[in-house]
Structure 1
Amino acid sequence: MGDGNAIIKMDLGKFSKPATVLIQKVAGAIGLLYEPTHLRRKARAQADVNKIKAIAKLELGELEQRALQRLVSQEVRKQENIESIVSEAIEFLPENAQVEELNEDWVAYMFKQCDTVSDTQMRSLWAKILAAESTSPGKFSKRTLNFLSGLSQSEAELFTALGAYVWQREDSPLAVVRRLNETTSLKDVINGSSILQLQSLGLITYQHDLGFSLLEVSGPQKFYYFDREIVIDLSDASGSELDVGEVALTTLGAELWEICGAQPNYSHYYMAVVEWRKRGYIVSEQ
């Protein structure tokens, strides 16, 4: 795409290689380039708006003028949202991101789902999606993008709260949630009601009576809770099943957990360790 056709331009020299490639990918997908400064960008956009308004007054009737002004306002808002998402995604990009393999059709599809999102937290979520997909192309499906486009801020916050219960084993996230009816209070965000809501969204599966277990576990197993590491050994326990509670992340939930921005709650960590020890597991904190 030549500079004359660019919607917005930017000096790419100040960016890392992954960031530069990402900007070029976005440009190829939706015709978006950047300008050196935000002020120049805003000034040019405003000049274009004023030009359109002037033409409209000369050539269009009152109804057409209002329709055109509405269209311009909508497109300016979309443009600002897109640029905010790209700018924030650049901040999340690691140096080893495989941006060259990022599919431009995927990029175009993503921005169709999020170009009207102006809430700061939700835009940040989309920026993390773009950065994660740029780092490992193929990580997020179009189905996931469709789901996110309909996710409300309150639903996103609820899932982020659940993230405080999530551990990792061999890069697989595990939601360790037990006995909700016994251990939660009215002030807890994660309770029976919110768990059912997350299940209805398709982010988790909830089995109050049966629960979930890792099968055929043998030998010491490493588990991680944010910056904490433990080793669980079932040698002294009966059987080879490791109980992990009443909740399991779905494939969709596991995808989104990585970018939900959850923070640790170490009371959940200690409750899980105590419960595992009660079941006869040997738990060693590293």
Structure 2
Amino acid sequence: MTKISSLSGQQRLRQLARSQLGTAVRIEEVSQTKADTGDASPFADKHQQLAARSGAGINQTGLSLAERADRRLLMQKERQQLNLERIILLAQDYCPEQVSTQEVDPDWFQQYCQLVLDVSNGNMQQLWAKILAGEIASPGKFSLKTLHALKRMSYKEAIALQQAANLSCRSKQDPSGRIYFGYIRRPSLWQWLTGRGRAVLNLSQFGLSYPQILSLTDIGLLHSAEIETGELASGLSLNWQYQQQLLSGKVTKNVVLQYYKYTASGAELLPLLSVQPNQAYLQAIKLLLADVIEFNL
């Protein structure tokens, strides 16, 4: 049985910051520029704003090339420190009161800190903060491989993962999640006459496009190949969990189901997302499988 520490999650987080970073986390509120808020402005204004943020501002008269380089590096280090402190501070919101007595691996935490230095997007910072809080609560929960996969993820790809999560079903056989999209039946005379040996659902109708699937595959969150179940025999009972809804039914014809499967890294990230059930997808997949699976009402 896992022992419970007397320290709360937030206390453990502050302890981790002091022991590994050498200081308590302090953060200053920084006002956002027009470029951050996305307000429309002339090209020249946006160009100057980006140049200033990079440390290579146009109006740096009187400074030598070496001085301009030093200034840029200093700004970069300050920005990275601010990103790190913001994420650690955000993690406090997700820390549970009770955590195990096992300490976070210091090597894991050092790599984590290096990976978040250049994460400036607010939504991505929230995701990284959840990971730190989860690791404090249960050390070993997130692998370094998952951290590096997340580092490769852009905000656009994070949206794609959210869309994939909204379409994911779970079962006792595969609690990591599956995205069902079709089925195949063995050739038969009836199928030859009717042409109904296979059916496929276009997931782009429900927010998950094929380019998004490819991008999630490229960063290692989905397996590259479409997965097929073994042949499910007629009479087999099925029990799936779609978000908070239980889907139960019985296979009426021997069939092979097709789905996209998450990698280990993708499965570790899924619980961090706030999923929204897509009722249109649920109805469409039930209609698609109606010829081979009889779902209970």
Q: For 1:284, which of 281, 284, 296 is the aligned residue? A: 296
Which amino acid in the other structure matches residue 21 of structure 2? I
Q: Report the CA distance shift for 1:203/1:220 in structure 2 as closer, same or farther (over 3 A).
A: same
Is the 2:90–2:129 contact (alpha carbons within 8 Å) kept by the matching residues of 1?
yes
Residue-by-residue CA offset, 1:40-98 (whole Å, 9 max, x unaligned): xxxxxxxxxxxxxxxxxxxxx95554444333322221222112111221111222333
Q: Report the CA distance shift for 1:207/1:148 in structure 2 as closer, same or farther (over 3 A).
A: closer
Matches within 5 A, 1:98-247: 98=100, 100-170=102-172, 172-179=175-182, 183-184=201-202, 189-205=207-223, 207=225, 211-213=227-229, 221-234=238-251, 237-238=252-253, 243=257, 245-247=258-260
User: Alpha-carbon deviation of 1:176?
Assistant: 2.4
Partners of 2:72 and 2:205 in 1: CA distance: 44
The corresponding residue for 1:53 is none
Residue-by-residue CA offset, 1:130-177 (whole Å, 9 max, x unaligned): 122222211211111112222211112112111111122237132223
Matches within 5 A, 1:54-133: 65-98=67-100, 100-133=102-135
The reply to whether residue 21 of structure 1 matches residue 12 of structure 2 is: yes
Partners of 1:183 and 1:242 in 2: CA distance: 15
Partners of 1:120 and 1:86 in 2: CA distance: 13
Q: For 2:279, which of 266, 269, 272 is the aligned residue? A: 266
Which amino acid in the other structure matches residue 270 of structure 1? Q
Is the 1:163–1:260 contact (alpha carbons within 8 Å) kept by the matching residues of 2?
yes
The corresponding residue for 1:33 is 24
Partners of 1:212 and 1:198 in 2: CA distance: 19
Is the 1:26–1:104 contact (alpha carbons within 8 Å) kept by the matching residues of 2?
no
Total equivalences in the alignment: 241
Is the 2:160–2:213 contact (alpha carbons within 8 Å) kept by the matching residues of 1?
no
What SS does structure 2 have at the residue aligned with 1:176?
Answer: strand
The structure with the greater share of residues assigned to helix is 1
Q: Sequence identity of aligned pairs in percent?
A: 24
Which amino acid in the other structure matches residue 224 of structure 1? Q
Is the 1:204–1:247 contact (alpha carbons within 8 Å) kept by the matching residues of 2?
yes
Is the 1:98–1:135 contact (alpha carbons within 8 Å) kept by the matching residues of 2?
yes
Is the 1:21–1:99 contact (alpha carbons within 8 Å) kept by the matching residues of 2?
no
What SS does structure 1 have at the residue aligned with 2:86?
Answer: helix
Partners of 1:225 and 1:23 in 2: CA distance: 37
Is the 1:133–1:139 contact (alpha carbons within 8 Å) kept by the matching residues of 2?
yes
Give structure 2 stretches of 5+ with no counterpart: 1-6, 30-62, 184-198
Partners of 2:96 and 2:228 in 1: CA distance: 35
Which amino acid in the other structure matches residue 196 of structure 1? L
Is the 2:249–2:293 contact (alpha carbons within 8 Å) kept by the matching residues of 1?
no
Partners of 1:19 and 1:223 in 2: CA distance: 36
Partners of 1:193 and 1:118 in 2: CA distance: 25
Is the 2:91–2:130 contact (alpha carbons within 8 Å) kept by the matching residues of 1?
yes
User: Alpha-carbon deviation of 1:227?
Assistant: 2.1
